[in-house]
Amino acid sequence: MGFGKADAHLQKMKERFSTFNFFGVKQTHSDTVIVHSPHDTSDAFTGDALITRQANTAIYIKTADCTPILCFDSATGGLAAIHAGWRGVANQITKKTLLKMINEFDSQPENLHVFIGPHIQFASFEVEEDVMLKLIASVRGPTSSFVKAKDKKFLVDLQGLVGQQLHELGIEKIWSLNKDTLTDLNYHSYRRDKTSGRLISFIAKTEK
């Protein structure tokens, strides 16, 4: 499992971890979850989350300010890689992905371990009111994941909302690097640089 910095290119990762078959998808800021099978080829599908139980397969996603989320099931060996932009958070892609693991891989919430990588943090993610309302509608009950900012805008905590969605499933094992892509120059940030650079995050398991 790894969250890459700005200098971690996909080809370098493939060379360094040459025993793994890397599998990604065409990301579109959707809530589509792809189940990887041994016959799938890289980038053959469109979606923003992947799950697998295949050994020696590295599932990966690309981000630049969006939230990269990696998950493993300590009991079944199931894995997930999730690209959660604000639209994905609003559409509960993380919650839907782990529900798919629960329904299709027989995962139990207490065995799921979730890791949140570098992304735009609470203090940096400023949005219009319409976006804020869509985001806070993604969780049940009250939330402290937003505050009023200047010029009729709001700061929103994507990580806090993802955590709240996971708690709704009974998932408690959640960790975060708490790295802000907007302010930390070690990471790509689309808001900061307006470039096409992307961070690579992947998770894999070896054959027993």
Flag whether 163 is in a domain: no
Predicted confidence at residue 107, as pLDDT, reads 97
What are 91-132's pLDDT values in tens digits? 999 999 999 999 999 999 999 999 999 999 999 999 999 999
Domain count, the chain: 1
Judge whether residue 190 has pLDDT over 90. Answer: yes
Looking at the domain assignment, is residue 145 inside a domain?
Answer: no
Helix, strand and coil percent figures for the chain, each rounded to 5:
25, 30, 50
Residue 188 predicted with pLDDT over 70: yes
Band of residue 208 on the pLDDT scale cut at 50, 70, 90: low
For residue 49, is it within any domain? yes
Nearest to 44 by CA among 54, 53, 34, 52: 34
The per-residue pLDDT of the chain, averaged, comes to 94
> Cβ–Cβ contacts within 10 Å for residue 130, how many?
8
Residue 121 CA, chain-centre distance (Å), reads 14
Taking residues 39-51, report their average pLDDT: 85
User: Could you tell me the CATH number of the domain that includes residue 185?
Assistant: 3.60.140.10
Q: pLDDT at residue 38 above 80?
A: no
Would you state the pLDDT for residue 24?
A: 94
Alpha-carbon gap, residue 50 to 16, rounded angstroms: 22
- Its domain, for residue 185, covers 2-120+171-203
pLDDT digits (tens, 9 = 90+) for 154-171: 999 999 999 999 999 999
Return the pLDDT at 37. Answer: 82
Averaged pLDDT for residues 14-20: 92
User: Which pLDDT score is estimated for 44?
Assistant: 78
73 assigned to some structural domain: yes
159 in any annotated domain: no
Residue 129 lies in a domain: no
Structure tokens given for 41: 């080829």
Does the residue 143 lie in any domain? no
Q: Is residue 96 part of a domain?
A: yes
